[in-house]
Amino acid sequence: MTQENDPQYHLRKLKLTKQIGSATLEAEMSPCVWMNNGYPLQLTVKLENGGHLIVSDPTSNVTYQTATESAMRALLDLVKVCECQRCNAPAFAPSNERPTRDGLCEKCFMGDLRKELDAKQAKEEAAAEKRFAKAKKEGFTHVVIALVHPTAGDDRCVEINCRGEPTKRQIRAELKKLGSEVLDDFTVKKL
């Protein structure tokens, strides 16, 4: 549907704002609402200091075709804000649809995720170094670290130990044997 023949088009572009204490919320209709006929009304709500959430009302029958600005404002009124439990910055309250942030602001929540990711990466790197040391002890000189992209199913990472530096042709042949559709997604590490 084009702008000219869509009486609801203005709602796609409508940006609502709401002040709750020191927090400013900005909301707009989520694209899935107007892209999928009959999809229930939902908003993407953003905090000015970062972070966003999707809010909807499962008890409502409002869709794009029946949406109004007041229905959008009613949805925005469901959003609650609190102070971050760690730094006191504005944060989405745990009572919202996405309670996994436990009342943390975006900066604190992402900082926790970064620490968790860094710890997992360090653990994976240590395990890889052990594997590489073992392979070197067994006489291997290089390891090919590759992603196998099958026709169907999930991609998977493989390590291929080699005696002598492998050529691109050898690596591509091995990836083809492993069922990969993509034959150039690899790196070679000297042990």
Residue 141 to residue 21: CA distance in whole angstroms: 62
Q: Is the pLDDT of residue 143 over 90?
A: yes
Q: What is the mean pLDDT of residues 171-191?
A: 96
Instruction: Copy the structure tokens of residue 121.
Output: 């990466």
CB neighbour list of residue 111: distance below 8 Å, 6 or more residues apart = none
Q: What is the pLDDT of residues 110-121, one digit of tens each?
A: 999 999 999 999
Band (pLDDT 50/70/90 cuts) for residue 7 is: confident
Q: What is the pLDDT of residues 100-110, one digit of tens each?
A: 678 889 999 99
Q: Is the pLDDT of residue 75 over 60?
A: yes
Residue 189 to residue 166: CA distance in whole angstroms: 10
Reported as half-sphere exposure (CB side, CA atoms, 13 A), residue 125 has a value of 6
Q: What is the mean pLDDT of residues 47-57?
A: 88
Q: What is the mean pLDDT of residues 30-39?
A: 91
Look-up of token digits 């609801």: 8
Residue 160 to residue 142: CA distance in whole angstroms: 8
pTM over 0.85: no
User: What pLDDT, on a 0 to 100 scale, did the predictor assign at position 96?
Assistant: 56
- Residue 43: what residue type? L
User: What pLDDT, on a 0 to 100 scale, did the predictor assign at position 1?
Assistant: 54
Q: Is the pLDDT of residue 97 over 70?
A: no
Q: Is the pLDDT of residue 8 over 90?
A: no
User: What pLDDT, on a 0 to 100 scale, did the predictor assign at position 2?
Assistant: 59
User: What pLDDT, on a 0 to 100 scale, did the predictor assign at position 98?
Assistant: 54
Band (pLDDT 50/70/90 cuts) for residue 59 is: confident
User: What pLDDT, on a 0 to 100 scale, did the predictor assign at position 77?
Assistant: 92
Return mean pLDDT, the chain: 91
